[in-house]
Amino acid sequence: MNISAFNPLKTIQSRIFSLFFAFIGLIITEAIASETSNEQQWIEQIRNNIKVGQPQDLPVKGAAGDENTFFSIYTPHTTAKPRGAIILIHDIGAHPDWQDVIHPLRTEFPNKGWASLAIQSPPMSAKQQKNPNEDSEKQLIESASPRIDAAITFLRSKSYTNIAIISHGFGSLISLNFLQAKVNAKTSDGRPLVNAAVLIGTPSSGTSTPHNSPAMIEKITIPLLDIYGSRDNDNVLHSAKARKAAAHKAGNKQFRQTETIGANHFYHGLDDELVNYIYYWLNKTLKSP
């Protein structure tokens, strides 16, 4: 007979451990639910207050292969003939209708013949926000790549052939990570997956990818515009020369770097200048289909 089966001490210990892990699981579940709930709340607020464009929930596969959707705002071109489409990737802590940089580009480009699709990047959890580090940021950057793939697929389904990515701040690390990994990727008809990219206020805060923006620029050969303000963040200003040198090392003859005098990281008061400069560069660089 197994005496341990009747050992009251082990039975009590077993129940205590079961209750403990159940309690911990409940805390984790509630924390995740709270973060998801908070994210969903502000997404719904944005969704209900869109004046230009329309909300678009795009399908994407999760890390475990499960099907999910993510929020974006799609605005088709309003001109007789389209020039192309832009994918907008916001800075960290922002969203697809952020008033600085993203909203002006999102709403003005369609009037100039470019459809816009502003996508929601994977949000940081409350824990990541309190204790940000390179590992958690790397996971965030890498988890955004499937969303860019989904955005490209959506715009291709709308028959847009010229596609450019325009990103701001931390969003530029996301776009660069995607582009350097897809440097040789083509569409089914042999076209480049992305025709051009615009980097606004691009930081560099680490020695390896995806935090080191020059290291990623070294691998990219598509037309690239690197634009930043003279009053930009330090990690943007201090890495400007390195970003330019990296493009030259890549042999990218269609790289252009421009400093906007008087502009801060958010281009306060210079929305029109930002929109017009990027518009003219794209039109000069990419021929209309």
Q: Model confidence over 185-210: pLDDT tens digits?
A: 888 888 889 999 999 999 998 888 89
Mean predicted confidence (pLDDT) in 265-284: 97
Tell me what pLDDT residue 128 has.
65
What predicted TM-score, i.e. pTM, was given to this entire model?
A: 0.84
Q: Which residue has the tokens 């990281």?
A: 265
Percent of the chain residues past pLDDT 90, beyond the cut: 68
Angle between the N-to-C axes of helices 134-143 and 145-157, in degrees from 0 to 180, rounded to the nearest 10: 20
Query: From CA 170, how far away is CA 144, in angstroms rounded?
Result: 12
Local confidence band at 285 (pLDDT 50, 70, 90 cut-offs): very high
* Cβ(39)–Cβ(70) below 8 Å: no
CB burial of 74-111 (b: ≥16 within 10 Å; e: otherwise) equals bbbbeeeebbbbbbbbbbbebbbbbebbbbbbbbbbbe
* Cβ(202)–Cβ(228) below 8 Å: yes
Local confidence band at 110 (pLDDT 50, 70, 90 cut-offs): very high
Rg (CA), the chain: 23
Local confidence band at 38 (pLDDT 50, 70, 90 cut-offs): low
Mean predicted confidence (pLDDT) in 269-288: 94
Query: From CA 4, how far away is CA 1, in angstroms rounded?
Result: 9
First to last CA, the chain: 83
Local confidence band at 36 (pLDDT 50, 70, 90 cut-offs): very low
Tell me what pLDDT residue 199 has.
98
Name the average pLDDT for the chain.
Answer: 86
Number of H helices, E strands in the chain: 10, 8
Please state the separation of Cα 126 from the chain's center in Å.
19
Tell me what pLDDT residue 14 has.
41
13: pLDDT strictly greater than 70: no
12: pLDDT strictly greater than 50: no
Mean predicted confidence (pLDDT) in 21-32: 36
* Cβ(144)–Cβ(171) below 8 Å: no
Where are any strands of DSSP class E within the chain? Answer: 54-61, 67-75, 84-89, 114-119, 163-168, 196-200, 224-231, 255-264
Q: How many residues does the chain have?
A: 289
Report the relative pairing of strands 67-75 and 54-61 from DSSP bridges. antiparallel
25: pLDDT strictly greater than 60: no
pLDDT, greater one: 3 or 233: 233
Instruction: Report the candidate in 96, 153, 124 with the shortest Cα–Cα distance to residue 36.
Output: 124
Tell me what pLDDT residue 22 has.
38
pLDDT, greater one: 43 or 9: 43
Instruction: Report the candidate in 148, 178, 169, 179 with the shortest Cα–Cα distance to residue 86.
Output: 148
